[in-house]
Amino acid sequence: MTLRWFRLNQACDQMNAIVCLCLLFFVTWVKCQGWLVDDDGCRTPDRGVGSCIGIKSCLPMIEFLENEPKPLSNRVKQALNHYTCGYTQNNEVKVCCPSDSIRIPGGGNTGSADNLQDPPNIANHRNIRLLPRNCGLMNSDNRIKNGENAGLNEFPWMALISYRTSRGPDFRCGGTIINDRWILTAAHCIKGNRRQLLGVRVGEHDISTRTDCETQADGSRKCSPPPQDVSIEEVYSHPSFDSTLLSDDIGLIKVNRINLNDVNIMPVCLPTGPTVTAKFNHVDVTGWGFTETGRKSQILQKVSLPVVSLEECKRVYNSLQQNLKITYKQLCAGGRNDKDSCSGDSGGPLQVSTFLNDDTRYIQQGIVSFGHRFCGEEGFPGVYTKVAYYMDWVLDTIGN
């Protein structure tokens, strides 16, 4: 690292001092983060063609750093990291240098009408301790590698929301346990439906059986404790939720105390600390396939989906000429090979596994919001509410 700092300092004689300082900081930060290399050659993060050259020889990078507001935001630093493509023989950082200017969503030079912002900083929020540290633990022993059925107790934070219907009680939406009194869901599942809401079930796996069991590899039978049905005390939809635009589609349900255990009923982790700005390319969506028109499966389903860029997602939904606007407070995934939130529930989770609190855990990064009316159609990703942007509201609400 000392040698790299010396070489960049030599180049400072020909550079703006502020730009040079940014380069020095960027190199140090990249050294800690690692880099991405495309096996097909040098590709920029937006899949454009570039030249893998020394960072101080990349004019677009220098111009970007010169014009970007200081200090660099975490979003910009994360984005810059994806431009790195290795090191020169002299141990200098190389970047995939594009032929035209660098434009990063969330950077000060984007001129985006979306007015991109970083998620709220909740590190010192007064209610942060209401989120259990013992959350999102992966039950790897029960993982089914093939097929869409989830393993018994694999996702013990799943919740089912029950409604009054003309045919009797029915599950129409999903949610997740975030502590022993609160369920996270979508606003469209609860807004205007208070009289129809009956309760919440947790600890469920197969809706068609009273006792959930699974045959193990050695032939033995493993059974789960019975699910719990808890009554609803209060419901809260986000104050900015728009049922037409489906923006700010996030809600909370306060329930009678849930008896948490380490088997089939425990909370999921929410984005805190480094997971607030974490980058991910694939996500897991789980649910019974509940929508407002019925259900797909009796057994909990899971599916792994690729993340779709916001730009592509906007293009797809703009082509439908519907009154919908995709924003940075949403994320998109799926829309390929008949797999998307058809396998999830309205209000259910989009989750990402990561290492947190000395273990591999699931972090809920999204909430199933909406998709194309023909579920699973090629080219139409599902749209999810991005939880990180609402963590201040979540903590404010559960602390009331």
Catalytic residue numbers read: 188, 249, 346
Q: How far apart are CA 306 and CA 72, in angstroms?
A: 28
Q: How far apart are CA 174 and CA 366, in angstroms?
A: 13
Tokens coding 47: 């899949």
Contacts with 292 (C-beta within 8 Å, 6 or more apart), sequence order: 172, 173, 346
Q: In 368-378, which positions are buried (b, 16+ CB within 10 angstroms) versus exposed (e)?
A: bbbbbeebbee
Tokens coding 314: 């906007």
Tokens coding 331: 């994320």
Q: What angle do CA 60, 118, 357 make, to 5 degrees?
A: 110
Q: How far apart are CA 164 and CA 207, in angstroms?
A: 17
Closest to 281 in 3D by CA, of 334, 336, 341, 338? 334
